Structure formats: structure tokens, C-alpha cells
Amino acid sequence: VSAGGTARARGTVPLTPDASPSWLRPLVDNVSQIPEALRRRLPPDVLEMLSSAKGVAEEREAAVLVLFSGPESGPADAGVPDEADLLLTVRASSLRHHAGQAAFPGGASDPTDDGPVATALREAQEETGIDVNRLHPLVVMERTFIAPSQFEVVPVLAYSPDPGPVAVVNEAETAIVSRVPVRAFINPDNRLMVYRGDLGRRWAGPAFLLNQMLVWGFTGQVISAVLDVAGWAKPWDTSDLRELDDAMTLVGEHGGAR
């Protein structure tokens, strides 16, 4: 993953940062720090290799929805409400790209999409059945190049006090749809570093071991950066390094999102 560059023109779908609840304000106000937080986890030589891959890639655009839900007021200590959650999916094992991976709802831009915000909302509705009229797009993060799929991905941060029901719409594309408690990502016991065996340990990135999924790769890196920038992260054991297949065997044995 390589973070950097400016976001594509976001189209005419309005952004409403003022709709952010108090507990999300630190993230909304400092969203420009996300790229640096992403780069911080990668060695310089890995960043250089990713930049080289980006330079020869055929540019394709995509967007994902980073949707937080929860009450409009937060705790007095400026932390995260216990009820706050983050919408994630697990991709079907039959897909060509990122099969079986936990991911934000999202996908490739359609020629008729009015910018990345429209792409993220459309894809989220198609994958989870969510009522996009309940959502408040807050800010657009800088695009990120994903080397395996050759996409430039724009994360769209959004909020809803009550997003309504969500579920798998098409089992051929999505295996799981889940609103995961934010506290599960903050919990140091759920955090580890994961790498793919064919790439080696230098490519290890932050991951989250939950009861239904292992969140790693681009999604894990973005969530880790969000926790850092928002000031929610707690110290965790970054030396807990697992190969991807070994880490996947632990899913379901971890005792759930805590």
C-alpha cells in the first residue's frame, strides 16, 4: 500500500463535516495526517518499491466507505462511546481480487459515478443493503495505491447515528457484513502484525484478530492509521508477528470482538 497524492475531484455529492459527532471530531479535523500514519508502518525500501509499482501501473479508480455509527454525544474523556461501530465486510472466497479478505464496503468506480463519494455510497448499498440516505459523508481521505489490484482507492469517511439494517446482498460477492464495535479495534489484545509468506516479514502490517474475521492489508492499515490520528490507539505488542495463513487459523478461536 502506498499513501500519497491528492484525492480525485470528489464530484458534487456534498460533504458534511459539521455532521460529525464530538467523538469523531479529532479524526475529521486531522484527516490530512492519515497518509503519514500509513507510511509510518512501512520501511523506506518497501515504500520505494511501492512507488515504483505505482509509476508503471495502469491507473484505475475505486472508493471505499469508512462508516462509523454511534451516538451523537461521546464520553466526557473524549474517548469513543461503547456503542460506536465500524462497518466491514468479508469478501467472498470466489472473487478474483482480495478473496476472503475483510474490507470496507466499496469497489471500482463506474463511469456514471459522480466522484468517489458516489462510488463509495453506491457500492456500500449494493454490498450491504444500507440506506445511504441515513449516512453523512464527512471527508474524503487521500487516495492510496493498492499494488496487488492496481487500484487507486479513495477512502470516504462517513457517519450515521443509526444506519439501519445491513446484511449480505449477494453471496457471490460478500460472505459477511458486520458492524464491528470500535472498542474491538482499540483493544490491544486484538492487535498483531501480519505478513504474507511469499512477500516476507518486511511487508508486515497492522492487523486485528476478531471472532469473525482477520482484518489486515489495506483495511487493517487504514484502521490502524485512523486509531493513531484520532488519538484512540492504546499501546500494543507490535512484535507479535504472524504469517497470514497462521493468523487466519486463529479466527473464531479468539473469543469475539472485545
- pLDDT tens digits, one per residue of 178-222: 999 999 999 999 999 998 876 677 778 999 999 889 999 999 999
Whether the pLDDT of residue 8 is over 60: the answer is no
Say if pTM beats, i.e. exceeds, 0.75. Answer: yes
- How does pLDDT run across 20-79, given as a tens digit for each residue? 999 999 999 999 999 999 888 776 766 666 665 555 556 689 999 999 999 998 887 778
2-181 fold: Nucleoside Triphosphate Pyrophosphohydrolase (3.90.79)
Domain residue ranges in the chain: 2-181
Mean local confidence (pLDDT), 104-121: 95
DSSP states of the chain as a string? -EE-SPPPP-TTSPP-GGG--GGGHHHHHTGGGHHHHHHTTS-HHHHHHHHHHHHHSPPEEEEEEEEEE--SS--TTS---TT-EEEEEEE-TT-SSSTT-EE-SEEEPPTT--SHHHHHHHHHHHHH---GGG-EEEEEPPPEEETTTTEEEEEEEEEES-------S-TTTEEEEEEEEHHHHH-GGGEEEEE-TTT-GGG-EEEEE-SS-EE-HHHHHHHHHHHHHHT------TT-EEEHHHHHTTTTSS-S--
